[in-house]
Amino acid sequence: ERYGLVAPMDPETALPRTDEVFFQKLAALSLVPEQEARRVFGLHANTVQYEPTEEMAVDLYLAMEAFLKAAK
């Protein structure tokens, strides 16, 4: 929402549908490297697809926190 980007949810996977253009725009608008954005979405996917462990939740939280601190 912060950057006006929309990633519709896939009803089968319950994950946002993202593509190269989405990550390029997010990186350009947030001024955060594309890799970091992809990492957050990847960690989120892991917590949705698998039974999340405490470690997975902490990793996702820390990645999101780092992204938000670096984002403009």
Q: For residues 42 and 45, what is the distance between their CA atoms, to the nearest angstrom?
A: 5
Number of Cβ atoms within 10 Å of the Cβ of 69: 8
Q: Where exactly are the structural domains of the chain?
A: 9-70
pLDDT digits (tens, 9 = 90+) for 10-65: 999 889 999 999 999 999 999 999 999 999 999 999 998 889 899 999 999 999 99
Enter the pTM of the model. Answer: 0.82
For 8, which DSSP code?
A: P
**Cα-based distances in Å from 56 to 17, 38, 41:** 21, 16, 13
